[in-house]
Structures are given as C-alpha cells and as structure tokens.
Structure 1
Amino acid sequence: MEHRDDGTRPLGGLDGLQTAPLSRRGFVMTSLMTGLTLATPSVSAQAIQTDGAGLVAGEVHIPARDGPMPGYRAMPEGAGPFPVILVIEEIFGVHDYIKDVCRRLAKAGYCAVAPELYAREGDLSSMTDVKTILRDVIAKTPDAQWIADLDAAATWAVAASNGDGARLATMGWCRGGRGVWLYAAHRRDLKAGIAWYGPLGGERTDIQPRTAGDVAGEINAPILALYGGADTGIPVASVEAARDRARAAGKSVDLVVYPDAPHGFHADYRPSYRAAAAEDGWARALAFLKAKAM
C-alpha cells in the first residue's frame, strides 16, 4: 500500500497485502440497491426509520482508481467541517439498514460515508442466498482493494463533503466489523474504530491473507468491540484473545459482550435484533467516539 503523509491521504499500510488487482469487469453495481437485502428470510417490523430532516443525505459516487464507486453519504446541513465516519457494510451491501445507520450518525453530527465495497464483484441487490454471496462476492474481494476504496472515500469526504480530515473513524458490522480491525491496522491517522461482531478468524487466502485476529497487535487506533455472547459463529474466547493480543502490544481495545445477544443483534431489520443490546451498544459507540475527540 502507498505511504503518504499530507494530512488527508492514506497513512500506514497493512503488512502482507498486495496491490489490489482491479476487476476486469469494472463495476457490476453502478448504483445502490433500493430497499433491504433480499438475502434474509424475513424483515422485522421494528426496523428503525431515521428521517433526513436537517441532513444532506443520499446516494453519491466516489472517485476510485478505476471509476466512480457508488456509496451513501449523510451529514448535517451546514458548513462543517464534520468528523468523518467510514461505515463498513455487512455482506449484504449498502441497503436501507446501512443507509439508515448513516443518517443516525449524521444526526449525531458526523459525515457518514458508506462506499459499496463489493460493487465490482457482484450485484448484491439481486442476490438471495447467503452462501452464494459469501462464495461469489465476499471471498473474491481482495482486502487490499476495499482498504484502498475506504481510503478513497476518506479523501472524497474531506474534499467534497465538508469532512474534517483530522477526525476520522470507522464503524462496521459483521464482515464490516472484521474490516474495522484491518483498517485500524492499516491507517495511522484513524482516531477510533467500532467493530460490531466482526469475525476474528477465518480462512486465509492470497487475496485475504490475514485475519482480524492476526492484526490485533498492530492497530493504530483504539477499538470498541461489541459482541454477542450467544453468537454461534464468533467464540467470545477469540475476541478476548484479540483484545489481549492488542493490549500486550500497548494498544487499546474495549470489549463489551452482551451475554444473550446472537450474531446480528444490531440489525433491526432481522429477527436477530435485540433492542436492549443494540441501544446500549449504540450509546456506547457514540460516547466512545466523543471520548476519542471525534
């Protein structure tokens, strides 16, 4: 990864990653999906709807190395500059839940940007099967590629969206939670990362060579880790081990485990949603950002 130090450009670089190979197909998705993902068996009635009053919110196109990348941006009305939150999606794409999260962050005073990190690999708006998404999209997206895309989104937020380049953080869910750990190990100017139930382990491949647990001792920003004790896919012990590895290296990880919460407990559109854990986690997340000068 390229090393630059001009205040708004990418800083650092995660060891073990190669320059991202660009898709020969270009962008498969040139705009965001409308509505919620089709890859969930049912949509719960309690899905939160955050209005856009007082906000500038909507779909955007972010300059990337190989063309305009679709994304969603929400920020307060006004001159700013606003602290920037890079929002990292689940495996399902930037659908209405992720867009709503951006608006929630904007209501709290942030410029929230969610780039569609899987736009080159497949059309997530039409995909209904989780296994297919994991095999044909997630497994084929190089870590170096989406990290470069987040860097591009950060640069764009500062240049075109009243973003404050000195106040940059990231927040992600599920696969995006994994992304928080890796991005925190990549970017030296990151102020904070908030990982909602991101997996710490997983298969290592040529294009995804390191797990979140592998880089725990290399993070450049404090992380708030919000996990479910009833998550059958992410053992609490793996998160505790990552926290301990980070602390042994002099890094800061605050781990909160909700004993009865399953995976996806913040996803208010799914049956996995647990209101008490989600609301407590959200309050902790906003307090954590404020405490880190965000």
Structure 2
Amino acid sequence: MTQKGTRLDYEVGGLRCHGEYFSPEGQGPFPVILVIHAWDGLGDEVRGKCQRLADAGYIALALDVHGNGTFHTDFDTVQAVLAPYMQDRAMLLARLVAALDSVTKIPNADTARIGCMGYCFGGMCALDLARSGGPAIKAAVSFHGILPPNGLEDTPITAPVLVLNGADDPMVPLEAIDAFQQEMTARGADWQLINYGHTLHGFTRKAANNPAGGVLYNEHADKRSWRAMLDFFAEVL
C-alpha cells in the first residue's frame, strides 16, 4: 500500500476536506504542485504521483475535492459524481481555491511558485485554476482532462498551460480541441497541447482497461507525458 502523506485539512462552505502533502528531503523552500484526482477521489494512485513529485524536488499537495476523504469505486456512478461539479463550476472553483489557500500552512512551501496538475476531471480542475484561480497559480498541467471552459468571467490567463491529451480520446473531440485553442489564444495564454497518437482516455491510469468505452492505459504516453510535465514545471516555476 502506498505511503500516505501528511494530512492537511481545509474547509470550504462547511465542507471539511482532507488533503495530504508530500515533501522533499531538505530545508527548502520548495515549489508546490497541487495534484488533483480524477473522478474517484484521493487514493493511492494520486499518492504515488505525489511521492514521485517530492522525489523530484516539489512539495506535492493532493487535493480532496469531494470532501471528507470520499473515494468512489463504482465506475457506473461517475456521471452522478461529476454532475454537480459540471453544473456549478463556481462551487468547484471555490473548493480548488480553498486548497490553494491552504498551501500557506505547509512548512518550507515557496508560495511564490505554485503550480497545479490533474487527471481527467482533475485536469479540468487544473485548467479552471489557470482560468480563474488568480495570480497565485503559476503553471497548470492537464492529463487527459476535460477541456471546455468554466463559464466564469473570461479574464486573461497568466499561468502557462500544458495539455497532455490522447489523440483518440472520445471525451475530447476535435471540436473541443479547436474551441480550447481559440479560448487560450483569445485569453492571451502561454499554452501548448501535446496529442499522443493511438491513445485513448485515461492513458496514465494503469487500471484503465475499457477500450470499447474509450478508456485504456498507454505506457508510452504515460511515461512521455510525465517527462513533459517535469520539463514544463522546471521551465516555468
């Protein structure tokens, strides 16, 4: 079982969230990466990625977007789990910003260098933080994330943005990519999008094995996207 991080509680709208952070060895200060889970919640998969980030010299804060440490295991409920967030992106943004604000509680955190990254639903969350999270976010990375914007105010995007996408992801049609590119350009973002060929949704998730449903792990895309993320953060943070 993956080692848990140091618990970091934060609240938003009466909801108690149980984040966890993972720190490098040494005194710091260290740049911080918010790591946002997929639809299921904060589990061992996210913890493992946070530990890898800590080994690379970052403080990694795993968010608890659902609150109360909730972790979903029934994939058939995914639409019901995500519907409230998709319908109220302002509520979702408030939960993300509450986690961002909690970074000040983490020892040795360099609050002038905060990035974010997420997977699937979490990728959408990372993009929402870049869009509307304010100047504290310095970089955002989306792994096979949902691209349409949050419907909030179209303010300029100051954080560099990296989208890592499966070219055959049925959840990200070409129209969504075109709209995203137009949005990023119109809002003045420093953005890039990498499409991995022959790659479906969920390509970083080793348990993903439903090609008929458009979801499948891809080892090459997983490794390449991780390296692209590390190079990106090394450049912009």
Query: Normalised by the shorter chain, which TM-score bucket?
Result: 0.7 to 0.9
After TM superposition, give the deviation of residue 213 of structure 1 in Å: 8.4
Question: What are the superposed Cα offsets for residues 18-60 of structure 1, whole Å, 9 maximum, x if unpaired?
Answer: xxxxxxxxxxxxxxxxx6xxxxxxxxxxxxx7xx7xxxx6151
Q: Distance in 1 between the 2:75 and 2:228 partners?
A: 33
**C-alpha RMSD over aligned residues:** 2.4
Residue 221 (structure 2) aligns with = 277
CA contact (8 A) 2:42 2:70 kept: no
Letter in 2 for 1:192: A
After TM superposition, give the deviation of residue 219 of structure 1 in Å: 2.5
Select which of 224, 231, 235 maps to 1:287.
Answer: 231
Residue 41 (structure 1) aligns with = none
Confirm or deny that 1:170 pairs with 2:116.
yes
Confirm or deny that 1:265 pairs with 2:213.
no
Confirm or deny that 1:106 pairs with 2:54.
yes
Residue 239 (structure 1) aligns with = 177
Q: Name stretches of at least 5 consecutive residues in structure 2 with no aligned partner.
A: 210-215
After TM superposition, give the deviation of residue 241 of structure 1 in Å: 2.7
Matches within 5 A, 1:58-73: 58-65=5-12, 66=14, 68-73=16-21
Residue 228 (structure 1) aligns with = 166
Matches within 5 A, 1:213-224: 218-224=156-162
Q: Distance in 2 between the 1:159 and 1:281 partners?
A: 30
The answer to which structure has the higher helix fraction is: 2
Q: CA, structure 1 residues 254+193, in 2 after alignment: closer, same or farther (shift >3 Å)?
A: same
Q: CA, structure 1 residues 112+267, in 2 after alignment: closer, same or farther (shift >3 Å)?
A: same
How many correspondences in the alignment? 227
Q: CA, structure 1 residues 250+162, in 2 after alignment: closer, same or farther (shift >3 Å)?
A: same
Question: What are the superposed Cα offsets for residues 164-209 of structure 1, whole Å, 9 maximum, x if unpaired?
Answer: 11001100111111111111111223111001121124xxxxxxxx
Alignment TM-score, normalising by the size of structure 2:
0.85
Q: CA, structure 1 residues 194+64, in 2 after alignment: closer, same or farther (shift >3 Å)?
A: same
Residue 191 (structure 1) aligns with = 138
After TM superposition, give the deviation of residue 115 of structure 1 in Å: 1.7
Question: What are the superposed Cα offsets for residues 232-263 of structure 1, whole Å, 9 maximum, x if unpaired?
Answer: 12113412331233123322210100121100
- Percent of residue pairs identical: 31
The answer to which structure has the higher strand fraction is: 2
Matches within 5 A, 1:64-143: 64-65=11-12, 66=14, 68-119=16-67, 123-125=70-72, 127-130=73-76, 132-135=77-80, 137-141=81-85, 142-143=88-89
Q: Name stretches of at least 5 consecutive residues in structure 1 with no aligned partner.
A: 1-34, 36-48, 202-210
Q: Distance in 1 between the 2:195 and 2:40 partners?
A: 24
Residue 39 (structure 1) aligns with = none
Name which structure has the greater RCO, CA cutoff 8 Å, separation 6+.
Answer: 1
Q: CA, structure 1 residues 243+108, in 2 after alignment: closer, same or farther (shift >3 Å)?
A: same
Q: Distance in 2 between the 1:145 and 1:217 partners?
A: 18
Question: What are the superposed Cα offsets for residues 54-90 of structure 1, whole Å, 9 maximum, x if unpaired?
Answer: xxx6151322143642122111122211111111110
CA contact (8 A) 2:41 2:70 kept: no
